[in-house]
């Protein structure tokens, strides 16, 4: 299943598809890098490094526009069907998801300035560990795309629950922490947003995995379980408020 | 060999099949052109036959109204039924059969007669009208159903061959409809037409669905995807895959189908 398809009679069609994959690969690499650098900046409370992350984001947006153009041109020129159609639609969807991952990384980076002004807070120690898992999910999701590997995609998809659990435990920790002392509210809120953003990045890695799985097999991954619906619901309101 | 069927290929059909083919084999002399094709054709569905040239799709289509009878070297095995009656049975009237199972060809082939006569010819020889008024009604109705009436109603006595290619093809469809068939077979009906004329024929196929069982052979993948609800893929005389059109074009089960529709063959 995870093999490269045989060549088309029309060679330039293969070139279009190859180009789409290259662009997605480049985008994905950048986005993953943004995630890692934003977390490093948070941990190090390094406002300068955070600023660099914010400034890199337009590169991802530009690549997304390129993917969109090429995908639309390919659909118009080649009228792709079956695997090819799934491939082009996957490129469109994945590029949009990667762009969102970049946005969450940027949003996290933007919070460094404010965090750096308060003293460090205890629950913060969970963040790097959560970020490590999320970053690995993004990496593997992109890998599964590059290798057309539905099994790795399924594996990423399964991991999303553990990210949700991290988020939920951090959520509870921060609640208690805020109740202890109102001065903790500002840094804790930032931390909560950061964790929520990481959790969303994990969701997006899962989305990529779903698209990869469908593209490779023609079947949908189903029966996804959420770990803790209550906490998830409470935090759900926050999601729409995120800036892009 | 059994063709692969997608899971819902048979489930969604409500009416009994109009035509059924079972293990149909065709030989041209020593050469076997068709290796046992089994398929059902339904009135409420348009069925598309696709496949590379020489794959047997046209051969099979021509079996459905015994057009292969005219080829001396052709020999047919298996069973094809129209409403449960074996169309190759000795008591089957072939002329009657071809009225019930009409055909539209790749190149529009109107008779070198007036538009009116082109459509009136069939009903007249089959005795479907006893008065001039009845015949007029049939001609008008057929031209309306073929979406040609508004374009020709003021010049019914002009020659059919003077029409544009697309109009000629719709005239041929009107001619097929005029004898009130149950099945219409179309062998690449749009391959000689421009995109606008093609769109009109496709629109017409949509309109006619439900009234007639329609089978269309096409080399245009997008056309098959647009006009049909069932698609059958033929290759080297074998029905490789038959199923729901949406499924075949987004997620075919068979590698050969996939390679063909994505342009990876040969």
ipTM of the complex: 0.73
Angle at A147 between CA A84 and CA A134, to 5 degrees: 115
Residue from the list B221, B250, B257 with its beta carbon closest to the beta carbon of A86: B250
Kindly report the length of chain A: 244
Tell me the CB-side half-sphere exposure of residue B167, using CA atoms within 13 A.
17
Q: Are A226 and A158 in contact (CB under 8 A)?
A: no
Residue from the list B250, B251, B263 with its beta carbon closest to the beta carbon of A8: B263
Kindly report the length of chain B: 266
What per-residue confidence (pLDDT) applies to B4? 74
Q: Are A19 and A70 in contact (CB under 8 A)?
A: yes
Over pLDDT 70: what percentage of chain A?
Answer: 89
Confidence class of residue A235 from pLDDT cuts 50, 70 and 90? Answer: very low
Chain A contacts of B266, Cβ < 8 Å?
A: 9
What per-residue confidence (pLDDT) applies to A126? 87
Confidence class of residue A238 from pLDDT cuts 50, 70 and 90? Answer: very low
Q: Are A197 and A242 in contact (CB under 8 A)?
A: yes
Q: Would you call A3 an interface residue with chain B, using a CB distance cutoff of 8 Å?
A: no
- Structural element, H or E, at residue A165: helix A150-180
**Exposed/middle/buried for residue B131 (C-beta within 10 Å: 0-12, 13-18, 19+):** exposed
Show Cβ contacts of residue A96 under 8 Å, excluding neighbours closer than 6 positions: A64
A118-171 pLDDT, tens digit each? 888 887 888 999 999 999 999 999 999 999 999 999 999 999 999 999 999 999
- Say if residue A191's pLDDT is above 60: yes
The residues that bridge with B184 in the sheet, in sequence order, are B102, B214
User: Residue ranges of the domains in chain A?
Assistant: 11-239
The residues that bridge with B41 in the sheet, in sequence order, are B19
Q: Are B82 and B101 in contact (CB under 8 A)?
A: yes
From B224, which residue of chain A is nearest by alpha-carbon distance?
A: A81
Q: Residue range A3-25: average pLDDT?
A: 88
Angle at B182 between CA B146 and CA B41, to 5 degrees: 110
Over pLDDT 90: what percentage of chain A?
Answer: 76
- Residue B36 has phi, psi (to 5 degrees) of 80, 80
Q: Residue range A82-107: average pLDDT?
A: 96
pLDDT in single tens digits along all 266 residues of chain B:
567 766 455 545 667 899 999 999 999 999 999 999 999 999 989 999 999 999 999 999 999 999 988 888 889 999 999 999 999 999 999 999 999 999 999 999 999 999 999 999 999 999 999 999 999 999 999 999 999 999 999 999 999 999 999 999 999 999 999 999 999 999 999 998 889 889 989 999 999 998 999 999 999 999 999 999 999 999 999 999 999 999 999 999 999 999 999 988 75
What per-residue confidence (pLDDT) applies to B159? 96
Q: What Cα–Cα distance (Å) separates residue A175 from each residue in A140, A165, A183, A191, B149?
A: 32, 15, 13, 11, 76
Structure tokens belonging to residue A90: 């996957």
Show Cβ contacts of residue A81 under 8 Å, excluding neighbours closer than 6 positions: B221, B225, B249, B250, B261, B262
**Cα distance between residue A130 and residue A197, in whole Å:** 11
**Exposed/middle/buried for residue A217 (C-beta within 10 Å: 0-12, 13-18, 19+):** middle
Grouping H, G, I as helix, E, B as strand and the rest as coil, residue B34 is strand
What per-residue confidence (pLDDT) applies to A4? 60
Sequence-ordered alpha helix ranges (H) in chain B = 57-63, 94-100, 115-125, 132-145, 149-152, 165-178, 195-208, 221-227, 245-250, 255-261
What per-residue confidence (pLDDT) applies to A10? 87
Mutate to test the interface with B, among A81, A84, A89 (most CBs of B within 10 A): A81
The whole-model pTM stands at 0.79
Question: Do B261 and A85 make contact, defined as CB atoms within 8 angstroms?
Answer: no
Chain A contacts of B261, Cβ < 8 Å?
A: 81-82
Q: Are B23 and B37 in contact (CB under 8 A)?
A: yes
Nearest-CA neighbor of B34 among B76, B2, B71?
A: B76
Question: Do A82 and B264 make contact, defined as CB atoms within 8 angstroms?
Answer: no
DSSP state of A123: G
Decide which of B68 and A38 is more confident.
A38
Q: Are A169 and A133 in contact (CB under 8 A)?
A: no
- Residue A38 has phi, psi (to 5 degrees) of -65, -40
Q: Residue range A212-225: average pLDDT?
A: 82
To the nearest whole angstrom, how far is the Cα of B260 from the nearest Cα of chain A? 10
**Cα distance between residue B198 and residue A174, in whole Å:** 65
Strand B213-217 to B85-86 pairing: unpaired
What per-residue confidence (pLDDT) applies to A227? 42
Question: Do A9 and B265 make contact, defined as CB atoms within 8 angstroms?
Answer: yes
Q: Would you call B251 an interface residue with chain A, using a CB distance cutoff of 8 Å?
A: yes
Q: Would you call A14 an interface residue with chain B, using a CB distance cutoff of 8 Å?
A: no
Domains of chain B: 4-261 (3.40.50.300)
State CA B230 to chain mean position distance.
13
What per-residue confidence (pLDDT) applies to B2? 62
**Cα distance between residue A66 and residue B33, in whole Å:** 48
What per-residue confidence (pLDDT) applies to B13? 62
Decide which of A2 and B107 is more confident.
B107
Give CA torsion, residues B150, B155, B160, B161, to 10 deg: -110
To the nearest whole angstrom, how far is the Cα of B213 from the nearest Cα of chain A? 26
Structure tokens belonging to residue A202: 């994990």
Q: Residue range A182-189: average pLDDT?
A: 90
- Residue B9 has phi, psi (to 5 degrees) of -60, -40
Residue A242 neighbours by CB distance under 10 Å: 14
- Say if residue A212's pLDDT is above 50: yes
**CATH dotted code for A11-239:** 1.20.58.220
Nearest-CA neighbor of B51 among B204, B255, B232?
A: B232
């Amino acid at each position: 299943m995870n093999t490269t398809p045989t060549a088309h009679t029309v060679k330039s069609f293969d070139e279009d598809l190859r180009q789409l994959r290259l662009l997605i690969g480049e985008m994905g690499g950048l986005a993953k890098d943004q995630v890692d650098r934003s977390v490093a900046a948070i941990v190090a409370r390094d406002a300068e490094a955070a600023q660099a992350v914010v400034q890199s984001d337009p590169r991802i947006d530009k690549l997304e526009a390129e993917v969109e153009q090429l995908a639309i041109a390919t659909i118009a020129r080649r009228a792709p069907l079956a695997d090819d159609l799934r491939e082009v639609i996957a490129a469109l969807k994945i590029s949009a998801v990667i762009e969102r991952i970049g946005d969450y990384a940027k949003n996290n980076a933007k919070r460094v300035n404010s965090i750096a002004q308060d003293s460090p807070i205890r629950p913060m120690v969970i963040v790097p560990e959560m970020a490590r898992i999320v970053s690995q999910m993004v990496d593997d999701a992109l890998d599964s795309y590059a290798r057309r590997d539905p099994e790795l995609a399924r594996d990423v998809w399964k991991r999303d629950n553990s990210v949700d659990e991290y988020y939920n435990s951090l959520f509870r920790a921060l609640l208690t922490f805020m109740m202890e002392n109102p001065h903790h509210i500002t840094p804790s809120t930032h931390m909560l947003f950061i964790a929520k953003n990481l959790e969303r990045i994990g969701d997006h890695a899962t989305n990529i995995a779903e698209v990869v799985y469908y593209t490779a097999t023609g079947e949908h991954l189903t029966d996804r379980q959420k770990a803790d619906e209550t906490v998830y619901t409470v935090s759900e309101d926050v999601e729409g408020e995120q800036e892009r | 060999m059994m063709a692969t069927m997608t899971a819902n290929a048979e489930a969604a059909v409500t009416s009994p099949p109009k035509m059924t083919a079972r293990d149909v084999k065709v030989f041209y002399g020593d050469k076997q052109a068709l290796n046992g094709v089994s398929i059902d054709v339904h009135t409420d569905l348009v069925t598309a036959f696709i496949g590379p040239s020489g794959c047997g799709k046209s051969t099979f289509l021509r079996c459905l109204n015994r057009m292969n009878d005219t080829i001396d070297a052709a020999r047919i095995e298996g069973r094809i039924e129209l409403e449960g009656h074996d169309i190759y049975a000795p008591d089957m009237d072939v002329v009657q059969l071809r009225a019930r199972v009409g055909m539209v060809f790749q190149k529009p082939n109107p008779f070198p007669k007036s538009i009116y006569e082109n459509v009136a010819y069939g009903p007249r020889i089959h005795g479907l009208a006893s008065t001039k008024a009845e015949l007029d009604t049939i001609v008008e109705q057929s031209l309306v159903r073929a979406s040609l009436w508004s374009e020709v109603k003021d010049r019914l006595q002009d020659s059919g061959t003077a029409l544009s290619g697309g109009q000629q093809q719709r005239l041929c469809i009107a001619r097929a409809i005029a004898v009130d068939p149950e099945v219409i077979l179309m062998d690449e009906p749009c391959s000689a037409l421009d995109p606008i004329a093609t769109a009109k024929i496709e629109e017409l196929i949509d309109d006619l669905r439900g009234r007639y069982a329609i089978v269309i052979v096409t080399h245009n993948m997008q056309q098959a995807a647009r006009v049909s609800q069932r698609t059958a893929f033929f290759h080297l005389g074998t029905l490789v895959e038959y199923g729901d059109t949406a499924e075949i074009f987004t997620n075919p089960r068979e590698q050969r189908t996939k390679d063909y529709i994505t342009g990876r063959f040969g």
